[in-house]
Amino acid sequence: MAYTTIDDPSAFFQAVTYTGNEQARDITFNGNSDMQPDWVWAKIRSQAYSHRMFDSVRGTGKFLHTDGNDAEGTQNANVSAFNSNGFSLGNDNGINSDGDTHVAWNWKAGTSFTNDASSTSVGTIDSAGSVSTDAGFSIMTYTGTGSNGTVAHGLGAVPKMYIVKKRNATSQWYTYHAGNTAAPETDYLDLESTAATSDSAVNWNDTSPTSTTFSLGTNSNVNNSGNTYVAYIFAEKKGYSKFGSYVGTEDGSGNNGSFVYLGFKPAFLMIKSTSITTNWVMLDNKRDGFNENNNFLYANLNNVENDGGYDLDLLSNGFKIRHNLSWINEGALIYMAFAESPFVTSTGVPGTAR
């Protein structure tokens, strides 16, 4: 049987940590030498600074904050280049603060595309971006029409998750996730908010995505006439990425929390409850921490890194909840996970635990 489609996940995703110096510099990855990132999501760990999100489709220097609804900003002293094995930084203290610890999560797409919907008859709204069908990841930009429509994503597979943000004005970070309720096309989450899932037909037009397009309603956060948007879209790849759900087992002890099978050792994990008000919890394999105490950041907050106390094991084949914290172990929860290594490679080599 095939255990994975990607033997070396570092070719498509890597987390990296560094200490800032407020000087122009290059950040280089330790993994696959051909991992040129198209999406860089960075956060100061040791100070309460906002998350900063950059991508090659919008262009260098252009950033968004996941912990706020601000329009896209431009600061050329941020990420100034996407390099063949890392990225270049300027001296801005939001991403390179002197003496502070930082983390950046990095994804590769890599193949440029444009879609003229009227010419191709794929979708009804024009789109352009960068895509990797191997990794199941697409970054795209489009201009809203204000009418129900569909947008080509280029993945050649049905997306499991997408995050949409208006670029040229304030807006929320509306998020689709296949594990969100029994009919995920009717509901949405907000990446900048602690809110539980909400129902709205005007976001995804109550229509499930297909292998070629995803649907938009008329909500101004995703499809206002004349506004520009960016979307980060993910399909699941066996042994590399997974976008699923689980049920918490909070009982006061936490020791018998859920085990979630991924089929790989996670390098990145984000968890959000869909049934109660909670933060978006973020973990990775590079920041300080160890089983059972792995360090947490929150996508919706600018907080300093939480340096332990929330027991969660990152395992060779998934993750195990060992704490009764409601954010990771109560009600219905969804997750987004990317691999450090598959549980078993395509040649039968087993992975190891952390």
Task: Give yes or no for a contact between 72 and 82, defined as CB atoms under 8 angstroms apart.
Answer: no
Residue matched to tokens 């603060």: 97
Cα gap 204→206, rounded to integer Å: 5
276: Cβ–Cβ under 8 A, 6 or more apart, which residues? 196, 326, 330, 331
* Percent of the chain at pLDDT exceeding 90: 82
Cα gap 170→69, rounded to integer Å: 5
State yes or no: pLDDT of 92 exceeds 90.
yes
- Overall average pLDDT of the 110-123 stretch: 97
Confidence of residue 2 (pLDDT cuts 50, 70, 90): low
- Bridge partners (DSSP) of residue 124 are none
Note the pLDDT of residue 323. 78
The dihedral built from the CA positions of residue 43, 44, 46 and 49, taken in this order, carries a sign that is negative
- Overall average pLDDT of the 168-181 stretch: 97
Q: Taking Cα atoms as reference points, which of 203, 337, 326 lies closest to residue 273?
A: 326
Number of H helices, E strands in the chain: 5, 30
DSSP 202: H
Tokens read off for 342: 């598959």
What does each C-alpha distance from 28 to 25, 88, 186, 320, 341 come to in angstroms?
A: 10, 9, 41, 31, 20
- Overall average pLDDT of the 177-184 stretch: 95
Cα gap 257→61, rounded to integer Å: 42
- Overall average pLDDT of the 144-162 stretch: 98
Note the pLDDT of residue 258. 87
117: Cβ–Cβ under 8 A, 6 or more apart, which residues? 123, 124, 125, 126, 127, 152
What tens digit of pLDDT does each residue of 63-77 get? 999 999 999 999 989
Whether the full predicted model's pTM is greater than 0.85, yes or no, is yes
Q: Where in the chain are the domains?
A: 9-107, 111-234, 244-342
